[in-house]
């Protein structure tokens, strides 16, 4: 198994939150290196990468084909009494939720921190990675008591994160959510959609967010249960470049699909798409009657209510 560890921020470019004589980048790196050592000791392949560019971090984890992604941070707040540990995962990711729950449980059982729970978020490192991913906010660097824990319990945090990862693999083999890492043999993602419809045509692998599948099921029902044809789902970076996609295409992140519904037609499909909660929609109408068309739909914002629309 391949584990990608990302200590948050970068000491020389952006040290992150600072408080009580500590810098987030330094604390996260120390914990991250300990996590790396513990995981290597039990036989996992580990890559540690600390950098300030979020796109580069995601691209590196994806190109390395990591099985799990863990980003390590320290929290901060203007309210100096705020304290505790919380772990985030991407909206709709069953694998991310499971990993977050296991790491959070190990930390609160090992370190005397306030349990702030497991939460969903659309952080770039969670939505831009192709594998179950979590972001761990170890403790509040702005709180004096938590800052003391970050120093005195550095090894305890690291051991807990490593144990959470090993717990995940003990209970989730194979990875639990085929919508996280679909392959041609992965089977059904939902009642009407199969993983093979979304994989990259050049390499047969992929990453499709579960929320996109849920919305496509809603779209199918809305147009009269007519079959949806997926023209393009996940694209690996190589295939995306070959077809002229922009480097940060939502297809590369598993957030998007280009679709047609032949039995419904362009205008009926468009009306139904506009009534649903997609984050991004792109309309490519027929240039003349009975010519090819498609509609791009994506879930780039994780359901936060933001919306981007364009027409070609």
Residue 154 and residue 40 share a domain: yes
Which of 171, 204, 239 is the C-terminal boundary of a domain? 171
Query: Tens digit of pLDDT for each residue in 26-57?
Result: 999 999 999 999 999 988 999 999 998 888 99
Cis upstream peptide for 56 (omega within 30°)? no
Query: Tens digit of pLDDT for each residue in 198-208?
Result: 888 877 777 78
User: Which is more confidently placed, 59 or 185?
Assistant: 59
Does residue 185 form part of some domain? no
Q: Which residues are known catalytic residues?
A: 137
Which of 110, 136, 171 is the C-terminal boundary of a domain? 171
Per-residue confidence band for 196, with pLDDT thresholds at 50, 70 and 90: confident
| pTM for the whole structure | 0.60
Q: How many domains does the chain have?
A: 2
Does residue 86 form part of some domain? yes
306 pLDDT more than 90: no
Residue 139 and residue 7 share a domain: yes
61 pLDDT more than 80: yes
Residue 213 and residue 300 share a domain: yes
Residue 225 and residue 88 share a domain: no
| CATH number, domain with residue 292 | 3.30.1380.10
Residue 103 and residue 204 share a domain: no
Does residue 178 form part of some domain? no
| CATH number, domain with residue 31 | 3.40.630.40
Domain range spanning residue 163?
A: 2-171
User: Which is more confidently placed, 231 or 170?
Assistant: 231
> What's the Rg (C-alpha) of the chain?
21
Q: What is the mean pLDDT of the chain?
A: 89
Please, is 152 exposed, middle or buried when counting C-beta atoms within 10 Å of its C-beta (0-12, 13-18, 19+)? exposed
Does residue 73 form part of some domain? yes
171 pLDDT more than 90: no
Residue 163 and residue 303 share a domain: no
User: Which is more confidently placed, 96 or 135?
Assistant: 135
Does residue 150 form part of some domain? yes
Does residue 186 form part of some domain? no
Does residue 67 form part of some domain? yes
Note the pLDDT of residue 177: 41
1 pLDDT more than 60: yes
H-assigned helices in the chain: 24-41, 54-63, 94-110, 124-127, 144-152, 154-171, 210-222, 237-242, 266-274
Residue 77 and residue 163 share a domain: yes
Residue 167 and residue 206 share a domain: no
The SS3 call for residue 203 is coil
Nearest in space to 191 (alpha carbons), one of 222, 165, 167, 221? 221
Residue 210 and residue 156 share a domain: no
Measured CA to CA, the distance from residue 265 to residue 267 in angstroms comes to 6
Note the pLDDT of residue 258: 96
Nearest in space to 311 (alpha carbons), one of 265, 260, 270? 270
Query: Tens digit of pLDDT for each residue in 260-276?
Result: 998 999 999 999 999 99
81 pLDDT more than 90: yes
Residue 199 and residue 152 share a domain: no
Note the pLDDT of residue 187: 58
304 pLDDT more than 90: no
Note the pLDDT of residue 128: 87
Does residue 190 form part of some domain? no
Query: Tens digit of pLDDT for each residue in 107-158?
Result: 999 999 999 999 999 898 998 888 889 999 999 999 999 999 999 999 999 9
166 pLDDT more than 70: yes
């Amino acid at each position: 198994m391949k584990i990608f560890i990302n200590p948050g921020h970068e000491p020389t470019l952006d040290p992150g939150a600072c408080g009580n004589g500590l810098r987030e980048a330094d604390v996260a790196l120390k914990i991250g290196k300990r996590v790396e050592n513990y995981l290597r000791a039990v036989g996992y392949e580990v890559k540690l990468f600390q950098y300030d560019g979020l796109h580069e971090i995601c691209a590196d984890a994806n190109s390395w084909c990591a099985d799990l992604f863990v980003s390590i941070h320290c929290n901060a707040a203007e309210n100096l009494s705020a304290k505790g540990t919380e772990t985030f995962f991407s909206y709709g990711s069953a694998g991310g939720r499971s990993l977050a729950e296991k790491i959070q449980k190990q930390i609160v059982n090992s370190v005397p921190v306030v349990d702030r729970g497991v939460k969903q978020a659309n952080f770039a490192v969670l939505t831009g990675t192709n594998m179950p991913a979590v972001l761990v906010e170890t403790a509040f660097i702005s709180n004096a008591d938590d800052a003391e824990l970050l120093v005195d319990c550095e090894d305890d945090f690291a051991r807990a994160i490593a144990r959470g990862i090993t717990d995940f693999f003990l209970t989730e083999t194979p990875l639990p959510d085929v919508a996280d890492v679909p392959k041609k043999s992965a089977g059904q993602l939902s009642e009407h959609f199969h993983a093979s419809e979304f994989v990259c045509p050049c390499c047969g692998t992929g990453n499709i967010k579960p929320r996109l599948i849920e919305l496509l099921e809603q779209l199918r029902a809305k147009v009269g249960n007519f079959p949806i044809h997926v023209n393009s789902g996940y694209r690996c970076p190589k295939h995306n470049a070959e077809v002229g996609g922009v480097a940060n295409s939502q297809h590369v992140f598993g957030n998007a699909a280009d679709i047609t519904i032949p039995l419904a037609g362009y205008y009926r499909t468009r009306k139904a798409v506009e009534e649903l909660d997609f984050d991004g929609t792109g309309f490519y109408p027929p240039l003349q009657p009975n010519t090819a068309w498609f509609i791009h739909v994506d879930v780039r914002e994780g359901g936060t209510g933001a919306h981007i629309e364009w027409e070609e």
